[in-house]
Chains A and B, each alone.
Chain A
Amino acid sequence: MNRGAPPIPPSTLSEIPLESHYGSPAPGDYPYTRGIHRDMYRGRLWTMRQFSGFATPEQTNGRFRYLLSQGQTGLSVAFDLPTLMGCDPDDPVSLGEVGKCGVSIASLADMETLFDHIPLGQVSVSMTINSSAPVLFAMYLAVAEKQGVPYERLNGTLQNDILKEYIAQKEFLYPPRPSMRLVTDVVEFCARHVPAYNPISISGYHIREAGSTAVQELAFTLRDGIEYVEWALARGLAIDDFAPRLSFFFNAHNDFFEEIAKYRAARRIWARTMKERFGAAAGRSLKLRFHSQTAGCSLTWQQPYNNVVRTALQALAAVLGGAQSLHTNSLDEAYALPAESAVTLALRTQQIIAHESGVAAVADPLGGSHYLEALTDEIERRALEYIRAIDEMGGMIPAIERNYPQSEIADASYRYQKSVEEGRRVIVGVNKFVQSDDHPIELLQVDQQAEISQVERVRRLRADRDNAAVQSALGRLEEAAATDENTLPHILAAVRAYATTGEICGAFARVFGPWQERSVI
């Protein structure tokens, strides 16, 4: 939704006329190292998409409507930990976590409130959810039904990337193989019924936040992508029927040129992989589209205003690297979920890059730089080595089972921390240029009231709904889970009967069992 955004002036500030791109091969040409569009942001700016969610569905709905009124062009839902982990607000393990890291969504009723007065046919919605993704996706579809929006008009993105959960973020529920089956259920359902929606966002962000290097982030993410493609092919889908809707999500970290080179290498590796390894023919299947988020783990508690500058540089790297959508972190995120003033400043940072800096006028303006091209080649070479190593292990699931990516990341994370400790790597305000009189900043407070109200609400829901209908829908879901039938129609039926997030994930757990990782330190 870039309606109303002013066009990018095709000239410099001093009115020197500009081409849309310079040099050859041009952006928009295979293997898309220089970008997936010839004109890039001249044709369409990136989507400014601030990840947001806290407390109750009412409170987050208010924040969404505020962000849209401030010129944000897409929504991105942050769920709380109980929702991410498929637990209801009144589950004992949810104690203290309800509404803390995101919004609490326990049933379709909560989802209806979350998108109240937000037309899903017009606003693209990204949802960051993984192990319980099929359930929350079904709730989103059910809200669209209630708004009278046909599935074909829905566009948005479901993260639905379970592999990086085992590798990095660790929000898994079931063992890898049944989890992959659920991911593939969504990919298949979307390919058949929700064609403009991205059913997966293959994510390096969390891998990087867990302490990986840029090369590891790139390699593990693309290897995850290969795994999803293989599962979808095994399901009987044709490559060009689903590959165009695979999307990616990368971190934008501190090393400016390394990040830009990473995005360029990502596009080149993916295009070649899709063409040579999987025989994709459609141009859209070969084009790696990605969302980027600035690095939360780079933000410091000390001298928090420095975070505005870090974020601006990281965001600039994502733009120069050709991101399709961007989230800029707020200055207070080393402390808490962002306050409204902080998130507004983060959005303004993107708007200044887009409309004032001139960098959006020309596609891949750094292409052809000796340094950047060499760095792109080197990152590609190193990432391909990792991909080959994982291929030799038999794919990403065997690699995860033997803790390979997890150990590589843990080692890199410890090396990084040691380099900070020893002062070999400078972090301004933390290990150099330290000052003791930090100014306190305004913080968002999420009180216990959100938890109390969500607990009451889910209990009232269970008392008021047709419980016979819920039980029968859950029973059919459990039966389907035990076969190889696509589970999504059954999840939808349970959601429409107002079964809760915890009840639906619990039904799967009875069939699939839990997953315990062997922790390595």
Chain B
Amino acid sequence: MQMDHQIRVLVAKPGLDGHDRGAKVIARALRDAGMEVIYTGLRQTPEMIVTAALQEDVQVIGLSILSGAHNAIVPRVLDLLREKEMDDVLVVVGGIIPDDDAARLKNLGVAAVFQPGAPLEKIVRFVRNAACAAA
């Protein structure tokens, strides 16, 4: 297993919503677990997120979406990653994502969807294992 500090994660908050409690808690938990975390801040478009992921050379993108706009935003991020031949970057999504939508997003290529109440430890473990397996 690789050292955690080699895992680089972009935590991003797309859309118009400013509720960033979840994004910040996750960012801190991943950082406390030894990963390098870049937090984009608020109101990032899919284009800005993919550009940041490229510049920061991350293995994982974590998207926090609570507003219900995930069906419009997440597929766009995945398309842009494919366009830029960055399909090896893992995309995980957290937030208020209904079960049916979670299944649809996974079919489109999202590695994991974490719904409300998901333990931090489970998220950290998933990111660590998935990033190491992909490396």
Binding site for B on A (CB under 8 A): 81-82, 84-85, 87, 93-97, 100-101, 165, 169-172, 209-211, 297, 300-302, 334-336, 410, 413-414, 417, 421, 427, 430-431, 443, 446, 516-517, 519-521
Q: Are B18 and A97 in contact, CB atoms less than 8 angstroms apart? A: no
Interface size on B, residues (CB 8 A): 36
Extra pairs beyond A96-B68, A431-B119 (6, CB < 8 Å) = A81-B15, A95-B72, A297-B21, A336-B98, A414-B25, A521-B24
Q: Are B45 and A93 in contact, CB atoms less than 8 angstroms apart? A: yes
Q: Are A421 and B121 in contact, CB atoms less than 8 angstroms apart? A: yes
Which residues from chain B contact A521 at a C-beta distance below 8 Å? 11, 24, 27-28, 31, 37, 39
In the complex, A431→B29 CA distance in Å? 18
Which residues from chain B contact A413 at a C-beta distance below 8 Å? 21, 24-25
Q: Are A519 and B69 in contact, CB atoms less than 8 angstroms apart? A: no
Q: Which residue of B lies closest to A445 (CB)?
A: B98
Q: Are A94 and B16 in contact, CB atoms less than 8 angstroms apart? A: yes
| B2 to A: closest C-beta gap in Å | 23
Q: Are B98 and A517 in contact, CB atoms less than 8 angstroms apart? A: no
Pairs across A and B, CB under 8 Å, 27 listed: A81-B16, A93-B16, A94-B16, A97-B16, A97-B72, A100-B68, A101-B17, A170-B18, A170-B42, A209-B21, A211-B21, A301-B117, A334-B96, A336-B98, A410-B28, A413-B24, A414-B25, A414-B29, A417-B120, A421-B119, A427-B117, A446-B68, A517-B41, A519-B42, A520-B24, A521-B28, A521-B31
Q: Which of A85, A301, A521 has the most CB of B within 10 A?
A: A521
Q: Are B116 and A96 in contact, CB atoms less than 8 angstroms apart? A: no
Which residues from chain A contact B43 at a C-beta distance below 8 Å? 93
For A97, give its contact among B39, B67, B96, B115 (CB under 8 Å).
B67
10 A-B pairs with the lowest CB-CB distances in the bound complex, closest first:
A96-B72, A170-B18, A96-B69, A519-B41, A100-B68, A81-B16, A301-B116, A521-B27, A430-B117, A97-B69
In the complex, A508→B21 CA distance in Å? 29
Which residues from chain B contact A85 at a C-beta distance below 8 Å? 16
Q: Which residue of A lies closest to B42 (CB)?
A: A170
Which residues from chain A contact B98 at a C-beta distance below 8 Å? 335-336, 443
In the complex, A414→B19 CA distance in Å? 15
Q: Which residue of A lies closest to B30 (CB)?
A: A521
| B44 to A: closest C-beta gap in Å | 11
In the complex, A413→B42 CA distance in Å? 18
Which residues from chain B contact A421 at a C-beta distance below 8 Å? 119-121
Binding site for A on B (CB under 8 A): 11, 15-21, 24-25, 27-29, 31, 37, 39-43, 45, 67-73, 96, 98, 115-117, 119-121
Which residues from chain B contact A169 at a C-beta distance below 8 Å? 18-19
Main secondary structure of the interface of B (DSSP, over half): loop
In the complex, A172→B45 CA distance in Å? 17
| B109 to A: closest C-beta gap in Å | 18
Q: Are B18 and A87 in contact, CB atoms less than 8 angstroms apart? A: no
For B68, give its contact among A93, A101, A427, A431 (CB under 8 Å).
A101
| A169 to B: closest C-beta gap in Å | 5
| B67 to A: closest C-beta gap in Å | 5
The answer to whether A100 and B42 touch (CB under 8 A), given A81-B15, A87-B16, A521-B27, is no
Q: Are A334 and B24 in contact, CB atoms less than 8 angstroms apart? A: no
Q: Which residue of B lies closest to A93 (CB)?
A: B16
| A404 to B: closest C-beta gap in Å | 16
In the complex, A517→B24 CA distance in Å? 14
Q: Which residue of B lies closest to A431 (CB)?
A: B119
Which residues from chain B contact A430 at a C-beta distance below 8 Å? 117
Q: Are B21 and A210 in contact, CB atoms less than 8 angstroms apart? A: yes
Q: Which residue of B lies closest to A411 (CB)?
A: B28
Which residues from chain B contact A210 at a C-beta distance below 8 Å? 19-21
In the complex, A47→B75 CA distance in Å? 43
Q: Are B117 and A96 in contact, CB atoms less than 8 angstroms apart? A: no
Which residues from chain A contact B117 at a C-beta distance below 8 Å? 300-302, 427, 430
Q: Are A519 and B15 in contact, CB atoms less than 8 angstroms apart? A: no
Q: Which residue of B lies closest to A302 (CB)?
A: B117
Which residues from chain A contact B116 at a C-beta distance below 8 Å? 300-301, 334
Which residues from chain B contact A519 at a C-beta distance below 8 Å? 20, 39-42
In the complex, A169→B17 CA distance in Å? 9
| B32 to A: closest C-beta gap in Å | 9
Q: Which residue of A lies closest to B23 (CB)?
A: A521
In the complex, A87→B17 CA distance in Å? 13
Q: Are A335 and B21 in contact, CB atoms less than 8 angstroms apart? A: no
Q: Which residue of B lies closest to A84 (CB)?
A: B16
Which residues from chain B contact A520 at a C-beta distance below 8 Å? 24
The answer to whether A97 and B15 touch (CB under 8 A), given A414-B25, A421-B120, A521-B27, is yes
